[in-house]
Amino acid sequence: MVAIFVLAAFLFFILVDLVVLKFQGKYHPAFEPSFSQFDISMFETNKFTIPQNTFFSKGHTWLKEEKNGLVNIGIDEFGMTALGTLAILNCALAGKTIKRGDILFEGAYGNNKVKFLSPVNGIVQTVNPNIINKNISDPYKTWGVQLLSKDLSENHEKFYSGNDAVNWIKKEFIKLKSFLDTHALKPNLAGETMFDGGTLSNDMLYSLVDKSTSDFEKEFLSL
């Protein structure tokens, strides 16, 4: 009887621990997600540095409020490195009225084009020409477009920031590992196409199935 009581108490405390971790957005070490192909060490907390006063949309764009109702918008760290090195091909034109969900940036991982959507309504005031076809070393210091918009200031709660943003991006990278597991054309070659130093090798692009890009947009870049 004593043994049963001890076992029940042990299971109870484990259950409580799991519930607490779930609310914190964490995993118990015993139930940490495992991935058959992409076992990489890029998910350490210190890999994710979130700038102050910066907000993040589900479509992997970041937003920062400036003076006079202006909002700087760029592509976050995940978007810049998810399927290789991202090259930005086009931005919405200055003077254009943008609605939430309209295409704001068009980029490419190798020969595969992807679209990043505007997280807010607004009017494009300025486009940064220095991001077109350039390698961006610090995505949070290099904005792409500047919008005149009230949406961010009036709806902070609809975006991620601070620790919430860190935890969310970490989960997105974990989802990405699973996505690559299911979309790799030749799983037995995964060892040749893993992340290298925290950035996915462009060689990975050639082992993905044809619909990977559109599936990636639906899974990670939709609002």
CB 51 within 8 A of CB 45: no
- Can you read off the two tokens belonging to residue 16? 């409580």
Which residue would you say has higher pLDDT here, 29 or 111? 111
pLDDT in tens, 17-66: 544 444 444 444 444 333 333 334 444 444 567 888 999 999 999 999 99
CB 12 within 8 A of CB 155: no
Q: Report pLDDT for 3.
A: 52
**Could you give the angle at the alpha carbon of 60 between the alpha carbons of 19 and 150, nearest 5°?**
100
Band of residue 102 on the pLDDT scale cut at 50, 70, 90: very high
pLDDT in tens, 130-177: 899 887 778 888 899 999 999 999 999 999 999 899 899 989 988 988
Q: Which CATH number fits domain 33-223: 2.40.50.100, 3.40.630.190, 3.30.420.240, 2.60.120.10?
A: 2.40.50.100
For residue 220, the tally of other CB atoms under 10 A from its CB is 19
Q: pTM of the predicted model, to two decimals?
A: 0.72
Q: Report pLDDT for 73.
A: 97
- Compute the distance between CA of residue 164 and CA of residue 25 in angstroms, rounded to an integer: 9
Q: Cα torsion at 9, 11, 12, 14 (round to 10°)?
A: 120
Band of residue 6 on the pLDDT scale cut at 50, 70, 90: very low
State the residue for tokens 């070659």: 189
